[in-house]
Amino acid sequence: MSAYHREIKPWEELTIIDDYMFKLVMRHKRFCKRLIEKILNIKIRDITYLEEEKSLKMKYDSKGIRLDVYVEGDDTIYDIEMQVRDYGDQELAQRTRYYQSMIDVDSLARGALYKELRSSIIIFLCPFELFEQNRHIYTFRNLCIEDKNLELNDGTTKIFLSSKGTTNDVSPDVKAFLDYMNGLPAADDFIKEIDACITETKTNHEERVSYMTYEMKMREAHDDGRAEGRAEGERNADLRTAKRMLAKNKSIEEIIELVNLSREEVEELALQSK
């Protein structure tokens, strides 16, 4: 069984740490809003989902899904990502940089001036250890190297939450959510509501069919990618063979009989080798 097939869980086994189910739960405003409030220890008047295809349409037969939860509240943009795979600290950091660029470009595309860019907070929820510090939460902003008290104030914040942390550094509400990510039973009313939502969602036939469609398309994309990879590998091998034969002064006719390249391609290689 390939690694890919291990990644696609049966519908009945999905939990909050599976990004598909996480998105389904977070499309409920009451859960999304309260989770943001708990993590940031703030109150938000309201949130608005920004563009269906980038947030919570949740039909994986549609195109353009880029962000897990992409919402706006009180003139701040929030992007919450459930990071299922541990890509390593460096790549996770670079992913937040990429998501930040997408958010800014999207804002500018809506007609905003640079000075009108809204504050943004990117939150990564990670069911694995981070940064070798045993913390549950890591908050990053742009600071001056020469004076750590001087903040750039560019309106960007990146927050990483690790469910495997051991330090006493988050509120009981947030700790309950992180424990739930670890598979522990729901410990407070908010988590119990989320758990009940997941249980109910799994009985929804339409959502189950949507997930099966997603799974099928993922498998097709995986198979297409493997086929393209094999084809690309074969072509590269033919190109290398043709170049070696040209270096040995073999004729174009001899080369095209041996490799799967057109006469024009071999002639172009011959010109490049002169």
Mark whether 130 and 250 lie in a shared domain. Answer: no
Mark whether 88 and 158 lie in a shared domain. Answer: yes
Mark whether 146 and 85 lie in a shared domain. Answer: yes
Q: State which of 69-78, 99-108, 176-185, 233-242 shows the largest mean pLDDT.
A: 176-185
- What is the domain range of residue 117? 3-203
The pLDDT value recorded for residue 178 is 96
Residue 59: pLDDT over 60: no
Residue 67 contacts residue 55 (beta carbons within 8 Å): yes
In a domain, 214, yes or no: no
What is the pTM (predicted TM-score) of this model?
Answer: 0.70
Mark whether 227 and 147 lie in a shared domain. Answer: no
Lowest mean pLDDT among 57-66, 143-152, 167-176: 57-66
Residue 186 contacts residue 180 (beta carbons within 8 Å): yes
In a domain, 45, yes or no: yes
DSSP string covering 13-70: G--TTSHHHHHHHHTSHHHHHHHHHHHHT---S--EE--GGGTT---TTSS----SEE
Indicate the pLDDT class of residue 61, thresholds 50, 70 and 90: very low
Mean pLDDT within 88-95: 90
Interacting residues of 133 by C-beta distance below 8 A, sequence separation 6+: 167
Interacting residues of 4 by C-beta distance below 8 A, sequence separation 6+: 218, 219, 222
In a domain, 212, yes or no: no
Give the position of tokens 């977070």.
Answer: 26
The whole-angstrom separation of Cα 140 and Cα 114 is: 22
Mark whether 109 and 230 lie in a shared domain. Answer: no
CA 158, chain centre distance (Å)? 15
Mark whether 31 and 66 lie in a shared domain. Answer: yes
The pLDDT value recorded for residue 230 is 60
The pLDDT value recorded for residue 7 is 60
108 or 96, which is more confident: 96
The pLDDT value recorded for residue 217 is 65
Q: Which residues of 39-57 are buried (b: 16+ CB within 10 A; e: fewer)?
A: bbeeebeebebbeeebbbe
Mark whether 105 and 76 lie in a shared domain. Answer: yes
Q: State which of 3-12, 61-70, 148-157 shows the largest mean pLDDT.
A: 148-157
Tens digit of pLDDT for each residue in 164-213? 999 999 999 999 999 999 999 988 999 999 999 999 999 999 888 888 88
Indicate the pLDDT class of residue 38, thresholds 50, 70 and 90: very high
Mark whether 229 and 199 lie in a shared domain. Answer: no
Mark whether 244 and 112 lie in a shared domain. Answer: no
How many domains, the chain?
2
The whole-angstrom separation of Cα 107 and Cα 113 is: 9
| SS3 sequence of 104-161 | HHHHHHCCCCHHHCCEEEEEEEECCCCCCCCCCEEEECCECCCCCCCECCCCEEEEEE
Mark whether 108 and 241 lie in a shared domain. Answer: no
The whole-angstrom separation of Cα 51 and Cα 71 is: 9
Interacting residues of 120 by C-beta distance below 8 A, sequence separation 6+: 76, 77, 78, 79, 100, 103, 104, 155, 156, 157
The whole-angstrom separation of Cα 256 and Cα 249 is: 14
Mark whether 18 and 55 lie in a shared domain. Answer: yes
Percentage of the chain surpassing pLDDT 70? 82
Indicate the pLDDT class of residue 259, thresholds 50, 70 and 90: confident
In a domain, 264, yes or no: yes
